[in-house]
Structure 1
């Protein structure tokens, strides 16, 4: 018997959902693999094995492993930056926000999977113009959100420059944590608070 329109629509919906789930597994596999083997070490075979799919499925969803890695990396950093921006913006006091940020960064050792993924992503961005542009847009949006938040909190200096300094501090702290695991993040609170305190009302 021919399928009804409703049956065909339901099958199409299920197929689309399976496709989304498979794509999600591929992205998750790439996010997990980059810290383990490095950006250049990720292959179609490794991704397929980690995601539990046939190798051909990888290229059905992504034109190349590089495209997959870019999508996976940018998805990770978008979520991370959005969370940081939201948490900072929710705090009324700049000093309180700095303390929260340092406490949050203390969760990362600099050699943990998340930190390694971000480092690999930044390094790849120096070689891939598309990634550099898209990652730059993400960082730019984060800095713009922080700049607006600083202005709303009475910061009287160059809020855009201050936001850039804060973003660079986050990156720098994570790099230094990898080299100096004993780095006392709490001790950095004073200098950071002083930097922003001088420009607030």
Structure 2
């Protein structure tokens, strides 16, 4: 049998931040390119939702053999986990950075609103919907997606923690952050239906409305 140049077998690295990682090969440049093509194809199929999401269809869309797909990803779940990791820099990391950079609550809130003012990739809303669906039917996807949403909520809670420290009135930032995270997440679900929403205006009204309410916390 003829020998092929090897693309290293994938391994599952340990999670260091609570996020379930997809298998990643230790890899040649060619192997990385093949893996990236498979992830891009998986994103397209998950967002499309008209072609069954199978490893065989992903391989066909990527222009590689089915065997090569399984060389990089053990199964369909591994592909979904790779997509979850691939989209993190498009929604989780910029939000965390907007909150973590120095500044007052107002300055950080402005950065968060500015982030939501930027155009979103056409596939992101349907991707969220697809991952939600898979999370209901696959324990590994659910664990990964829950970890992503813990980071999403934690960023909003961190934003309102800055406000709580500025106010010094004992307001609890947790429900404020959870409320903001849930509301913004709901907009993503609505956008997946192609509804037109002025996202920056809604996020601005939401964050500043919650902030005004925090100035006069309800008596316990």
Separation in 2 of the partners of 1:82 and 1:108? 16
Name 2:139's counterpart in structure 1.
129
Q: Of residues 137, 142, 148 in structure 1, which corresponds to 2:158?
A: 148
Aligned residues: 186
Determine if contact 1:73/1:117 at 8 Å carries over to the other structure.
no
> Which residue does 2:40 correspond to in 1?
28
Superposed counterparts of 1:8-19, under 5 Å: 16-19=28-31
On the 8 A contact 2:94/2:115 being kept in 1, the answer is no
1:66 to partner: Cα distance = 2.6
Cα separation, 1, equivalents of 2:193 and 2:99: 27
Distance 2:56 2:31 in 1: 19
| Cα distance in 2 between the residues matched to 1:59 and 1:186 | 41
Q: Distance in 1 between matches of 2:109 and 2:191?
A: 17
CA shift, 1:100, in A, is 4.7
The partner residue of 1:160 within 174, 177, 200 is: 174
Q: Tell me: CA distance 1:58–1:180, structure 2 relative to 1, closer, same or farther (3 Å).
A: closer
2:197 match: secondary structure:
coil
1:74-153 pair list within 5 angstroms? 74-77=85-88, 79-90=90-101, 92-98=103-109, 100-105=111-116, 107=118, 112-153=122-163
Query: Greater relative contact order: 1 or 2 (C-alpha under 8 angstroms, separation 6 or more)?
Result: 1
Structure 1 residues 169 and 15: CA distance shift in structure 2, 3 A: closer
Structure ranking higher in helix proportion:
1
Match of 2:62 in 1: 51
Alignment match, 2:185: 171
Q: Measure the CA separation in 1 of the matches of 2:77 and 2:94.
A: 26
* Cα distance in structure 2, aligned partners of 1:176 and 1:93: 31
- Structure 2 unaligned spans of 5+: 1-25
Distance in 1 between the 2:27 and 2:143 partners?
A: 33
Q: Any stretches of 5+ residues in structure 1 without a counterpart?
A: 1-13
> Given that residues 105 and 162 in structure 2 are in contact (C-alpha distance below 8 angstroms), is that contact kept between their aligned partners in structure 1?
no
Normalising by the residue count of structure 1, what TM-score does the alignment of the two structures yield? 0.75
Q: TM-score, normalised by structure 2?
A: 0.69
Please report how far the alpha carbon of residue 108 of structure 1 lies from its aligned counterpart in structure 2 after TM superposition.
5.6
Moved more, 153-162 or 178-187: 178-187
